[in-house]
Structure 1
Amino acid sequence: MVFLNPAVLFGLLAASIPVVIHLLNLRKLKKIEFSTLAFLKELQKTKIRRIKLKQWILLALRVLIILLLVAAFARPTIKSFSIGGTASAAKTSAVIILDDTYSMSVVTDRGSYFNRAKQTAKSLIDELQEGDEVSVVLLSGEKKLETTSNFTSAKNFIDETEISFIGGTVHNSLIKAAQILSESKNFNKEVYVLSDFQKTELKLAETTLSDLSDLIPNNIRIYSFDFASQEPANITLTDFKVNNQIFEKGKLINFSASVKNTSEKSFNNSVVSLFINGNRSAQQSFSAAPGETKLINFETTLKENGLLEIFAELEDDDIIYDNKRYLSISVPEKISTAIFFDNLSDTKFVELALNGGSESAPISIQKFPLSRIASTNLESYDAVIIIGSESINNYDRIKQFIENGGSLLLMPGSETTLQKFQKLCNELGIAKPSAFAGKINDDLNTASFEKTDFQHPIFSNLYEKESKKQIDSPEIYYYLKLALSGNGKKIISLIDGSAFFGEFDKNNGRILLFNIAPVLSWSNFPLKGIFAPLMNKAVFYLSSKVKDINNYKTGDEILADVNNVLLPQIKITKPVRGEEFVNLDSLGVKNYLKFSKTGTPGIYKFYSGEKLQDYASVNFNAVGSELNYLSNNDFEEYLKEINFTGVHLNISPDENFSAAIYQSRFGSELWRYFVLAAMLVALIEMFVSRSAKKDMV
């Protein structure tokens, strides 16, 4: 026998109260005045013994009443035993783990796995009785139903539950269920796992199983219902990316998608399509054998500016939730560029190359003295060009711009000194020049190009014939000697091995570096035919960004950049279910907004007023696409690994599971029986008490 409320047993101390009262009454001496001892002789010895016996019986009965009542409140329970139907069934606390991941969307002739699991869950709730309680844990972890005895609300919760794109594991869900049951005082503690039992959804790959016997004790019973009844036919998109790094309206753009057949069935002449802003832009057909992965390439022409929402989509199969992947790119209508200078005349050729003085050019330019760089909102520009280094009075502002994802084109100016330029490079954490080489205006001893990395994105779409890529080297009179290493890479190198043009990746930011000033006293580079297209491509390259391709999975937290936002409120547009608003005053960190409501794949956009502040692509969690299922033995082995020593029953959803559960359920509560016994003893006590009073007369 066990007690479900053992703390009440401290009340047994109250059984000592009748004993104390009895002992105190024995010490009380009662004076009776009488004139002769003759009357005492009439009191028979047998009557005295009878009175004393009844007093001891009364004491025992009163102690027994207290013992029975305290024991009743402690809820005594015995296992696998019922006293002639007089005991009530032990109360039950049940936790239903419902697999709502998208692998449960497989449809059979009896309905989808998920709908069958929901119906089974509601049937299990119908089997509960008054005084029982239930809670529901979803495998995705998106939400859960707290413990309740309102079975109607529990069934409503299950009816409202939909398939989730968020992945989850049985292991984590079992831990949650055990934590819920640890707070229950009911005798029967049961966990029902309703799933298709994919191997990838048992536990996370990085999870090391350990002894959970303290958390999941042997008095918990686990019932597993496996709904996987057929081998689905499924292909999934495992990856989707854009291959260009420069995005220009009217230019070709290339995408690639990886498609995997995760089933045991072959797919022939299946179609995958490319959509840009909801319009089909390209499509390809393919065939895939079981387990085979295919790389599909798309090429199309960009027809729009602005933020482009792009996705690849497969034809429908048995699991449609893994047939679409998203990415987003920004193609600005005008590339806003700031040029900072030591000497205004140094900007002449750069400005002509970028917009030719035309307002209709795709690049708009604003020029500022370098001394004003600290007071300028650099984040409001798509690209920043610095020509010179002598007038910089705040290096931290430039470093912050780069750290926040800014893009910078850096060139020495006509008045640049080695010491100042070295300091600028050192502050930015890039390779610094070792010395000047050559002489200004010396066209007799010149340097020229040696190698060019034509695979760099800057040279994409630069030549009409890709097979005839070459550059007519300028004559370079005077330059900074740059030896790139670490995070720097050469794009164009000189015959002495130093870098003429290089690139540095700085976390989220990007820096392009020339080793010459764009003036004719240093070289004839500004007069060469490659100068204007190379400068334009450099600015397009700096301004083109692909946001978080496949980095965010459903359920992940987006870190949105809200730096330099002037309005106090951010509007978030989600793929479905409208908009959401966040007050920045409520955030501890003002530069970034953490947004975790990412249960749906698609593009999430963050606005400050009407200005697009940031955006992110969220894609489905691919865990549910791997169609490899656990056997009952596999699940038993898992339970052994976590040292679960209780009872586990694997029940087919098609069998009479009610009978199976009733046969395995144990425990009867005897509190009603104890209350009846206490009432019976109380009646006996009343009868004996009256009899004792008569004997005293």
Structure 2
Amino acid sequence: MKWVYPEFLFALLVLVIPILIHLFHFRKYKTIYFSSIAFVKSVEQQQKNPRKIKHLLVLIARMLAFTCLVIAFAQPYFPHSDSSKKDIQLIGVYVDNSFSMSRIGTQGELLAQAKELASSIIDKAPRNTQYVLFTNELSGNEKQTLTQVKFVDQVAKINYSPIYRSKEEVLSFWNQWIEDAQKEGNIKSKPNLIYLSDFQKNKQSNLIKKFKSIPSISPIRLTPQNKGNLFVDSIWFETPIQKLGSAQTLSIRVVNTGNEPIESAVVSVQIGKMKRDLFAEIPSNGSDTVQLNYFNQEAGISKGIVSINDKQMNQDDSFYFNYEVKKSQSVLIVNGEDAVENVGIVYGLDDFYKIKEVSTNQASSEDLEKIDLIVLNGLNQIPSNLTTELANYQDEKESILLIPGTNISPTGWNALLEKLELPVINGTQTIGLAVQKLNLKDPFFHGIFEGKPENISIPAAAKAYRLMPNSKTLSADLINYQNGTPFFVKSTGKGNAYLFSTSLKQEFSTFTSNQLFSTLLLHVGNLSQRQNPYFLVIGSDGSYPLKNTSSSENPVHLINKQVDYIPILFLKNKRQTISVQGLEAIRFLEAGNYNILQDGKSLGTVSMNYNRLESQTAESTQEEIKKDFEQAGIHVNNLQDGSNWNSASLLEIGENYDIWLWFVFFAGIFVLCEMALLIFYKK
């Protein structure tokens, strides 16, 4: 027999007190004055022996009741017969150290409680037990077996990690470890797994796969006191136009996962030197979007941070971003045989646009590298090399405006249109070409008109090309003719491409003399700003293209106040690109704004944020947890709630047999016996 809390057995020393009281009680004598002591002596002699026996029985009943109560608190148990064998017992322990474990439980942060529970496992396990400790890292270093001393030392070193794991990933790691250990002959039996986690629903996908090498599991669910969470979910701009002196609106989405509404949450915003406080009213289990209206008053890169004050999971209380406010924008106009000069005139009216005009045979890949907008003005023939260059250019989400000539070659044009995911040209048309419908619901028209425009004067086209979608087309009609065919189209796929279905020469249309012509061209120019990603999510497949990279062999560094990280670089469309994908980036990067440096030269700024997956704090119930494990073919030994106790020695390691309830029962029996004796004694 073994004890869970053997220290309680010291309380048995208190039994000495009633024994001493009993002994001294019978040594007390009382003087009685009586005329004949012979009669008194006879009466006292008759009553003394029964009284001694009754007092002794009461004493024994009390001592037995107290003894049983002390033993019950010490919690004795009989270990499983296998534990007495000479084979070394092995226990697997998984500690969830994701950010959600930073929430506060009844005894501090959940991770601290999980570490304490993990360390206390050794109190119950046999001395020769070995352990396998692993966390969300699931690395090769966590596959080694540990002694008790090393196990406690490794538990103490566990810290928070931005890596989150599903149950399937954890169980796959443990299942593979058991299979490898059995092949190498290191273990004969299949060890139990103790699973310490808060069991969030968003990372606990339903288990479909069967894990035949995992016989049993002992889950311990750690529950926070406050199950809600307040966090900044995302940010976006009302318009992608970041122009010096232009008005801008920043939208911020704040989410509350708690059951109580938040009437006035302070949302602090800092962009460059500007600081503002906004107030969000967030319903329970809902969200609110607050907006900041301001003007871009400084050119260059603006670093921003949005933050809230929340007592749970501080890792998602801040959101970092950056963007570039440009002084100018470059436009390359490729003029063909039927080019119209109105295109260059429109962009030349605004000093913001820096224009370069070339002919078809002069366009080269070098011209495309630093260009924000390319305009094909009146081309009839599109060479194959130009098609390739434009397709690669658009892969970077750059903007292309296509204006056909009067006598195009459908083969060359359609090859380019297919690559740009636009509808192809299928002949010409001359009937029903009055421009009738503007798709004002499309985001393209946001900010062009004040209110809903009425009675827009647009002349009809005399001749136009018929655009036909195919299986590769990903586009939206912005303006349509009366016959329903498109006049102006934009791509909705991987790039930004715009297409007129008619030539701008007089024999096709008089659209260049209409006010809408210059409005469309300038708006396409505004939307074509080359803007790097506002932020990246650490560990995701996002990427950041670099500008002005040198031929130096020295690495690129991402640097902020706490971190100096060398990212992975890869070539994408002839441009060096930063990747923050993979476990290495998750391990070393922190949320924040980073300067990109190479040889001491700045290559830009990139903003990093943690994944918001764990910010949704809904948790699985005990029934859901048990059902999920059993569906995977794993026996659940004992599903514990770790919120109200701090000792994992209560776990049934090896299916031990607890007998402390019997001692509670016998303690009650002896108390009843004492009461019966006292009642009998009075009578």
TM-score by length of 2: 0.69
1:627 maps to 2:618:
yes
Which residue of 82, 93, 97 maps to 1:96? 93
Partner of 2:436: 450
- Give aligned pairs, total: 561
Once the two structures are TM-superposed, the CA of residue 286 in structure 1 deviates from its matched residue by 0.8
Q: Which amino acid aligns with 2:314?
A: I
Which residue of 231, 235, 241 maps to 2:230? 235
Which residue of 331, 341, 348 maps to 1:348? 341
Once the two structures are TM-superposed, the CA of residue 278 in structure 1 deviates from its matched residue by 7.5
**1:278 to 1:377, Cα distance in 2 relative to 1, 3 A:** same
Partner of 1:490: 477
1:387 maps to 2:373:
no
**1:91 to 1:557, Cα distance in 2 relative to 1, 3 A:** farther
> RMSD of the TM alignment (CA)?
4.2
Once the two structures are TM-superposed, the CA of residue 529 in structure 1 deviates from its matched residue by 4.0
Q: Which amino acid aligns with 1:215?
A: S
Q: Which amino acid aligns with 1:449?
A: V
Once the two structures are TM-superposed, the CA of residue 397 in structure 1 deviates from its matched residue by 2.3
Partner of 1:400: 392
Once the two structures are TM-superposed, the CA of residue 369 in structure 1 deviates from its matched residue by 1.8
Which residue of 249, 266, 274 maps to 1:271? 266
Q: Which amino acid aligns with 1:555?
A: G
Q: Which amino acid aligns with 1:450?
A: Q
**1:617 to 1:241, Cα distance in 2 relative to 1, 3 A:** farther
Partner of 1:246: 241
**1:142 to 1:663, Cα distance in 2 relative to 1, 3 A:** closer
**1:283 to 1:383, Cα distance in 2 relative to 1, 3 A:** same
Are the aligned partners of 2:490 and 2:497 in contact in 1 as well (CA < 8 Å)? yes
Once the two structures are TM-superposed, the CA of residue 227 in structure 1 deviates from its matched residue by 2.6
Partner of 1:368: 358
Once the two structures are TM-superposed, the CA of residue 98 in structure 1 deviates from its matched residue by 0.9
| Deviation digits for residues 576-635 of structure 1 (CA, Å, limit 9, x no counterpart) | 743333576999x9976653244344567767775758967544232452233422x443
Q: Which amino acid aligns with 2:197?
A: S
**1:531 to 1:260, Cα distance in 2 relative to 1, 3 A:** same
Which residue of 403, 420, 423 maps to 1:411? 403
Are the aligned partners of 2:207 and 2:632 in contact in 1 as well (CA < 8 Å)? no
Are the aligned partners of 1:564 and 1:591 in contact in 2 as well (CA < 8 Å)? no
Q: Which amino acid aligns with 2:312?
A: D
Matching of residues 120-519 of structure 1 within 5 Å: 120-124=117-121, 132-139=129-136, 141=138, 145-149=142-146, 154-182=151-179, 183=181, 184-185=186-187, 189-201=191-203, 203-204=204-205, 207-212=206-211, 214-217=212-215, 222-228=217-223, 230-277=225-272, 279-281=274-276, 283-288=278-283, 290-326=284-320, 328-343=322-337, 346=339, 348-356=341-349, 361-390=351-380, 392-393=382-383, 394=385, 395-413=387-405, 421=413, 424-425=416-417, 428-435=420-427, 449-463=435-449, 465-467=450-452, 471-473=456-458, 476=461, 479-482=464-467, 486-505=473-492, 507-518=493-504
Once the two structures are TM-superposed, the CA of residue 316 in structure 1 deviates from its matched residue by 1.4
Partner of 2:81: 80
Gaps of 5+ in 1: 1-77, 439-444, 667-697
Which residue of 526, 541, 556 maps to 2:540? 556
SS in 2 for 1:508: coil
Q: Which amino acid aligns with 2:333?
A: I
Q: Distance in 1 between matches of 2:633 and 2:110?
A: 30
**1:468 to 1:306, Cα distance in 2 relative to 1, 3 A:** same
SS in 1 for 2:363: helix
| Deviation digits for residues 519-542 of structure 1 (CA, Å, limit 9, x no counterpart) | 567555444444444322111212
Q: Distance in 2 between matches of 1:519 and 1:492?
A: 19
Q: Which amino acid aligns with 2:611?
A: F
**1:416 to 1:603, Cα distance in 2 relative to 1, 3 A:** farther
Q: Distance in 2 between matches of 1:174 and 1:649?
A: 17
Are the aligned partners of 2:229 and 2:615 in contact in 1 as well (CA < 8 Å)? no
**1:400 to 1:115, Cα distance in 2 relative to 1, 3 A:** same
SS in 2 for 1:396: helix
Which residue of 569, 572, 580 maps to 2:565? 580
Are the aligned partners of 2:178 and 2:213 in contact in 1 as well (CA < 8 Å)? no
Q: Distance in 2 between matches of 1:430 and 1:81?
A: 71
Are the aligned partners of 1:274 and 1:281 in contact in 2 as well (CA < 8 Å)? yes
SS in 1 for 2:267: strand
Are the aligned partners of 1:408 and 1:511 in contact in 2 as well (CA < 8 Å)? yes
| Deviation digits for residues 17-39 of structure 1 (CA, Å, limit 9, x no counterpart) | xxxxxxxxxxxxxxxxxxxxxxx
SS in 1 for 2:142: strand
Q: Distance in 2 between matches of 1:316 and 1:174?
A: 33
Are the aligned partners of 2:194 and 2:220 in contact in 1 as well (CA < 8 Å)? yes
Are the aligned partners of 2:94 and 2:196 in contact in 1 as well (CA < 8 Å)? yes
**1:590 to 1:366, Cα distance in 2 relative to 1, 3 A:** closer
SS in 2 for 1:376: helix
| Deviation digits for residues 414-443 of structure 1 (CA, Å, limit 9, x no counterpart) | 7756676556545645323445567xxxxx
**1:224 to 1:426, Cα distance in 2 relative to 1, 3 A:** closer
Are the aligned partners of 2:120 and 2:647 in contact in 1 as well (CA < 8 Å)? no
**1:96 to 1:384, Cα distance in 2 relative to 1, 3 A:** same
Identical positions, percent: 16
**1:148 to 1:296, Cα distance in 2 relative to 1, 3 A:** same
Once the two structures are TM-superposed, the CA of residue 479 in structure 1 deviates from its matched residue by 4.6
SS in 2 for 1:489: strand
**1:613 to 1:418, Cα distance in 2 relative to 1, 3 A:** farther
**1:605 to 1:451, Cα distance in 2 relative to 1, 3 A:** farther
**1:283 to 1:380, Cα distance in 2 relative to 1, 3 A:** same
Are the aligned partners of 1:237 and 1:324 in contact in 2 as well (CA < 8 Å)? yes
Are the aligned partners of 1:104 and 1:114 in contact in 2 as well (CA < 8 Å)? yes
Are the aligned partners of 1:561 and 1:613 in contact in 2 as well (CA < 8 Å)? no
Are the aligned partners of 1:91 and 1:186 in contact in 2 as well (CA < 8 Å)? no
Are the aligned partners of 1:409 and 1:511 in contact in 2 as well (CA < 8 Å)? yes
Q: Distance in 2 between matches of 1:351 and 1:381?
A: 15
**1:107 to 1:418, Cα distance in 2 relative to 1, 3 A:** closer
Are the aligned partners of 1:263 and 1:627 in contact in 2 as well (CA < 8 Å)? no
Q: Distance in 2 between matches of 1:535 and 1:425?
A: 20
| Deviation digits for residues 260-282 of structure 1 (CA, Å, limit 9, x no counterpart) | 33222332222234443574356
Are the aligned partners of 1:98 and 1:137 in contact in 2 as well (CA < 8 Å)? yes
SS in 1 for 2:341: helix
Are the aligned partners of 1:90 and 1:187 in contact in 2 as well (CA < 8 Å)? no
